[in-house]
Chains A and B, each alone.
Chain A
Amino acid sequence: MAIKNLHDFLESYFTANHCEFVHNKDGVLTVQLTEDMDRALMNRPFYWHYIKKIGNPGDPLQLTLITNPEKRDEKGEWIHFGSPRLQQILNKLKQEEIYTKLFERIDTNRKTSLFPWLVVNIKISYQGKQKRDEIFSIGLHLINGSMKTDMMELLGEKSLQMTISDYCYTISPIIRLKSGFTRIESVLESYIHNQTHDWAEVSIKTMEEEIQLLTHFYSSKDDEENTQQEMDKEIGEIKKRYNPRITFNVINGGIFYLAENAIS
């Protein structure tokens, strides 16, 4: 599900943010920004401050992005996975699009109940000498407690919206959100416990070796005053660099109301 086609991604991004396309051909995309998007992307706070002060609605800019490398010499910004513009957009997403509440869209004229799911997308980082990430998307049925992995893929097949469809009603969760979240965490924890962590052992070994070298280095330097302090600092640095740690980081999550047996 990672971004495969950058051009499509950008199209959906600007569409979702209510921007219109002035031009869109052969990997060159010109977008008429909205005021909000101009403020978010174009970095000109003084302009907006001033224009609002004089009671003017302001003129949001147009932005031309080039996703086709062969056209990168044309007027506009060449955008690719490393470019600051894309990083800016991705960071904005990561910072802002964290919480949601969504309903499955259902065309019906009979009363239909929707069941609550807690969906959490979580990044696990393993950090020893190097660092590696793993991402899980987990869904928990807040009535019967069943759990699903690859939840985002499953949801990808559904049609979801921010308002509830006609004739539908929601069932209140039996499992409280917090304890639901704890259940998800503990499943991930046991997943971690059941792995062998070679990376951590290697890292600990290196850490111990380096601390030993260091201690030896300082043992012959006892004539100096600050030796102990200096040594502690160096040991601290070594630990920081090698001490193995695993972190859970929630990317985003929300409550999804889905029809019965929507996810099987």
Chain B
Amino acid sequence: MDRIELQKDSVFIDKFETTLEKEGPFSPWELFQMTYQAELTTMAPSFEGLKSLDYLPHMEFLDHQISCANQVIEEMNGRAILADEVGLGKTIEAGLILKEYMLRGLVKKVLILVPASLVNQWAKELNEKFYIPAITHRKNYSWDQTEVMITSIDTAKRSPHREHILDIDYDFILIDEAHKLKNHKTKNFAFVRSLKKKYCLLLTATPVQNRLVEIFNLVSILKPGHLGDYGSFLEQYGKDRKKIKQDKYLKQLIQKVMIRNTRQNTDFDNIKRKIETIWIDFKKEEKDVYSHLQSVTEVFPTFSKITLLRELCSSREACFLSLQKMVTNQENEHVIKPITDKIEQLPQHVKAEKAVEVIKQLGKEKVIIFTEYRATQLYLQWYLKENDITSVPFRGGFKKGKKDWMKQLFENHAQVLIATEAGGEGINLQFCNHLINYDLPWNPMRLEQRIGRIHRYGQQNDVHIYNLAIRGTVEEHIMTLLYEKINLFEQVIGHLDSILAELNINDIESEIQTIFSESTSTGEARIKLDNLSSIIKLTHDQTELKEEQYGN
């Protein structure tokens, strides 16, 4: 008892005496009584449990989200890494935790740092789903006076904001996409370390991307010393991330500060992914151009030839524009010119026709089309319009406001959203459950990002994915040898990131490109690609086994 600090109410009785002297104002009995009732209603009678659930009757939480919030508050004491796979609702978990702390009166001053593109979305979700009055930072907003502020780390660390923020004692700090803090030598890391905080959540889908020391750095923000000191950690676990699975002790330690739910261990899997690969044959003219392009050996480096071939599988426009850029002198012009001439003569792309067919079959259902190329995006926009289908474009480069606007147009007015790759991160489109992969990315992680836009928390229906691939082209190889072989569509690639890192593959896309460019024949490329898939599959099966051994 003597170590407990006791704080009495020093204000009430004096103020009451003054009120008596002034003969009021006094509260009528009804209101006086109601105030007492109000306190009885809002108090937290027990240390345990989530009070916030009673306050959010409009929300339906999943079991893993509730147990996550419980665990963070009761066992981790409010400092944790939330590392659920993409789409399982990390934002929801974080919102629930924050709400609980605010209701119990443990948190008032909050700073939420998220990528600039997600600022508005965070504000919207916290306000609408949790009734947390979060405000996004604008010019001249005062850091002192706003209780719950959302901004990007880049804004926060810039002067004069930096100085203000570092002066404030925050009760709660949340950092989204926290894997960007994996390197302890960066300015962002130092900035985050120097923030004054009580509770702290770090959100990331990929807590360890390459080296085990990354997780050491994340943990150091929350609980310095939990994993020992830097030197001995490096010595013991080195740069090898495999150790996390081998070392049971380390794993346990990490589990004390990190929660990772995967699709497999949640009941999220009620929603099925229905995958349909639609094979298409080039029209004769298209096939002709494709073979022509393939047979050209001089002029282009092999790298760009592969790209050109991929582009041709996507749209005339994409390939045409790239070819035109390559015309630098007369010598290569005489090689390129005949090809571009031929492209100009091509009819509508066979894939675009197929896409329209698919969309029309779906009636009025919303559809997202993903393509790798901007030229294709523009072409599709025009072509869909020709076919009386309404569509809106979406790109990563859009400003925040425009992104929100496009999303809204899609939700309320247009049938189709045509997105390029960079548009993937962070937009939530659960209201749509049809996705067309107009062309396939060569990096399976990016594919997962795409699908994650619709197959995520809040999706009510089964998710339909249509892959368009052209037979007898480079697309066929990627499709059959990479995606189908390692079963990427069906089983969500929860482990893929770790597998690739384990195999020391930093960039699978360039790996594949190398395979194509260094092979002298299609046959050789096939074999190499096949080998790559085999090894990924093997490692995947092994990790599955290990996970079973240790549980998660």
Residues of A within 8 A of B (CB): 1-3, 9, 12-13, 15-17, 69, 78, 80-84, 87, 90, 93-94, 96-102, 120-123, 125-135, 137, 152, 156, 160-162, 177-178, 181, 185, 189, 192-193, 197, 199-200, 204, 206, 210, 213-221, 230, 233-234, 237, 240-255
Contact = CB atoms under 8 A, between A and B. Distances in A.
Q: Is the interface of B mostly helix, strand, loop or mixed?
A: mixed
9 contacts: A3-B37, A3-B41, A90-B41, A99-B15, A129-B47, A130-B48, A177-B13, A178-B17, A181-B13
Nearest to A229: B194
Contacts of A204: 3
B199 A241 contact: yes
Given A69-B57, A101-B20, A217 B39 contact: no
B39 A100 contact: no
A17 B28 CA distance: 10
Given A12-B34, A130-B48, A240 B3 contact: no
Contacts of A83: 131
A128 B4 CA distance: 9
A230 B5 contact: no
Contact of A237 (B11, B16, B198): B198
Given A1-B37, A102-B29, A214-B225, A87 B45 contact: no
Given A99-B19, A127-B106, A221-B230, A133 B31 contact: no
Given A127-B106, A178-B13, A220-B230, A99 B44 contact: no
Contacts of A241: 77-78, 198-199
B296 interface: no
B277 interface: no
Contacts of B236: none
Contact of B33 (A15, A123, A152): A152
Contacts of B74: 129-130
B231 interface: yes
Nearest 10 pairs of A and B residues by beta carbon:
A82-B55, A217-B225, A213-B225, A250-B12, A2-B40, A133-B43, A97-B27, A245-B5, A130-B47, A16-B30
Interface residues of B, number: 72
B161 interface: no
Contacts of B54: 81-82
Contacts of B223: 210, 213
B163 interface: no
Contacts of A230: 193-194
B106 A2 contact: no
Given A130-B47, A197-B4, A237 B197 contact: yes
A215 B229 CA distance: 10
B39 A9 contact: no
B323 to A, nearest CB: 55
Contacts of B211: none
B77 A93 contact: no
B230 A130 contact: no
B431 to A, nearest CB: 18
B522 interface: no
Contacts of B196: 233, 237
B248 interface: no
Nearest to A126: B47
Contacts of A125: 105
A1 B17 contact: no
Given A82-B52, A134-B45, 12 more contacts: A81-B57, A87-B131, A93-B35, A130-B104, A131-B104, A216-B229, A220-B231, A221-B229, A241-B199, A245-B5, A248-B9, A252-B27
A245 B39 contact: no
A246 B28 CA distance: 31
B503 interface: no
Nearest to B18: A99
A150 B65 CA distance: 39
Interface of B: 1, 3-9, 11-13, 15-17, 19-20, 24-48, 52, 54-58, 73-74, 77-78, 104-106, 131, 133, 193-194, 196-199, 220, 223-226, 228-232
Nearest to B127: A84
A160 B32 CA distance: 11
B479 to A, nearest CB: 46
Given A90-B41, A248-B7, A97 B34 contact: yes
A89 B40 CA distance: 15
Contacts of A217: 220, 224-225, 228-229
B361 to A, nearest CB: 33
A248 B10 CA distance: 9
A247 B41 CA distance: 19
Contacts of A128: 47
Q: Give the interface centre of B4, B56, B106, B198 by most chain A CB atoms within 10 Å.
A: B4
Contacts of B29: 100, 102, 160-162
A127 B78 CA distance: 14
Given A2-B40, A93-B38, A254-B16, A156 B7 contact: no
Contacts of A253: 12, 16
A68 to B, nearest CB: 12
Contacts of B226: 213
A1 B40 contact: yes
Given A99-B16, A99-B26, A132-B44, A246 B34 contact: no
Contacts of B48: 130
B104 A218 contact: no
Nearest to B39: A251
